[in-house]
Structure 1
Amino acid sequence: MFDFIIEGGVIGMSTVMISGLGAIVWSIISAAKFSKAGCITKRHLDAILFLGSLSFFLGVLWQGVGLSQALSVIQEYPGISPAAIAGGIRVSMISPLTGAVLFAISGIFWMSLRYMNAKKAES
Structure 2
Amino acid sequence: MIDLFFQGGVSFMTVVMLTGIAAILWSLFSLIKFIKVGFITKRHLDAILFLGSLSFFIGILGQGIGLTDAFESIQGLSSVSPAAVARGIRVSMIAPLTGAILFSIAGIYWFILRYLNAKKQDN
TM-score grouping bracket, smaller chain normalisation: over 0.9
Structure 1 position 80, deviation (Å)? 1.3
Match of 1:112 in 2: 112
Aligned residues: 123
Give the Cα–Cα distance (whole angstroms) in 1 for the partners of residues 107 and 88 of structure 2. 29
Alignment-derived partner of residue 14 in structure 1: 14
SS in 1 for 2:78: coil
SS at match of 1:100: helix
Query: Displacement of 1:2 after TM fit?
Result: 1.2
Over the aligned positions, Cα root-mean-square deviation in angstroms equals 0.6
Q: TM-score, normalised by structure 1?
A: 0.98
Identity %: 61
Find the aligned partners of 1:30 and 1:53 in 2 and give their Cα distance.
17
> Hey, what does 2:42 align to over in structure 1?
42
- Could you tell me which amino acid in structure 2 is paired with residue 50 of structure 1? F
What is the one-letter code of the residue matched to 1:80? Answer: V
Amino acid in the other structure paired with 1:41: T
- The answer for unaligned runs of 5 or more in structure 2 is none
Q: Deviations over 1:16-66 (max 9, x none)?
A: 111111000000000001011111111100000000000111111000011
What's the counterpart of residue 90 of structure 1? 90
Q: Does 1:77 align with 2:63?
A: no
Moved over 2 A (4+): none
2:100 corresponds to: 100
User: What's the offset of the Cα at 1:116?
Assistant: 0.2
Residue type at the aligned position of 1:103: F
Give the TM-score taking structure 2 as reference length: 0.98
How big is the shift at 1:76? Answer: 1.2
